[in-house]
Amino acid sequence: MNLHEFIQLALAEDIGDGDHTSLATIPADAQKRARLLVKGEGVLAGVEVAKAVFAEVDPSFQVDVLLQDGTYIKPGDVVLTVSGSARNILTAERLVLNCMQRMSGIATHTRQLVDLLEGTRAQLLDTRKTTPNFRICEKMATKIGGAVNHRFGLYDMILIKDNHIDYAGGIEAAIKKAVTYLQETGRSLRIEIETRNRAEVEDVLRVGQVDIILLDNFPPDGIREMVRLINGRFITEASGGIDETNLRAYAETGVDFISSGALTHQINSLDLSLKAY
């Protein structure tokens, strides 16, 4: 799903057979304006999405952007103004706010975690733990906050996790089947494999043929030990039980990437509003 398709589906969900409140109360020829006001504090995200929503609802809108994605915002700031059909402004309002409030909340939390990595080699990764059909916006928000987008879906990378390993018959079997699959289908995808203990890491080192080793649910000292064992042969990623309380400890192990599902779930939206003026 691309951004255009997402917006079309979201508008169809909201509008149905018509925005009857606006149709009933606002004259068809009324031309008005509104501004998007900040009521919370954090990192702004979703401006480009808002512009796309306004363009989809009414290409004749005049949208003036005053603050860009990634800006640190505070109460009283004005993000943008929009002018045009009053009915259409009201029709676009909720989708714009729903996207921007959640995206800004995600970007704010992401920036806080990224700041904790300063001075280390580790980079923060997002995950597929996203809201169904809203992933495109949530991935945009984590990137705005300073994280690195991991795979977008099941189609753009091979990530062999614990259940794949168990179903395939072990680490060696899973890796060999993945390599054969790529050869037979002519695809060029990175291969990442999850490991749960030292023995599994040693199995991967013996077999090779992967790009990334995922170290899942290791404590920081365990990650440090595995990073030494891998010794730069493969990219390393840490995951599992990592949040703002222990992120720095994981980053200081020398691991290349740290993934966190917390970037996109259990997030508080940042308060924004669209007000007539």
Q: Which of 194, 200, 237, 256 is catalytic?
A: 194
Cα diameter, the chain: 72
Backbone angles phi, psi at 228, to 5 degrees: -65, -40
Q: Which of 129, 143, 151, 176 is catalytic?
A: 129
Is residue 161 part of the annotated active site? The answer reads yes
Is residue 194 part of the annotated active site? The answer reads yes
Is residue 94 part of the annotated active site? The answer reads yes
Q: Which of 35, 143, 161, 196 is catalytic?
A: 161
Is residue 216 part of the annotated active site? The answer reads yes
Q: Which of 94, 143, 190, 196 is catalytic?
A: 94
Q: Which of 126, 216, 237, 256 is catalytic?
A: 216
Please give the radius of gyration of the chain, using alpha carbons only, rounded to the nearest integer. 23
Number of CB atoms found within 10 A of residue 78's CB:
15
Residues that are catalytic: 94, 129, 161, 194, 216
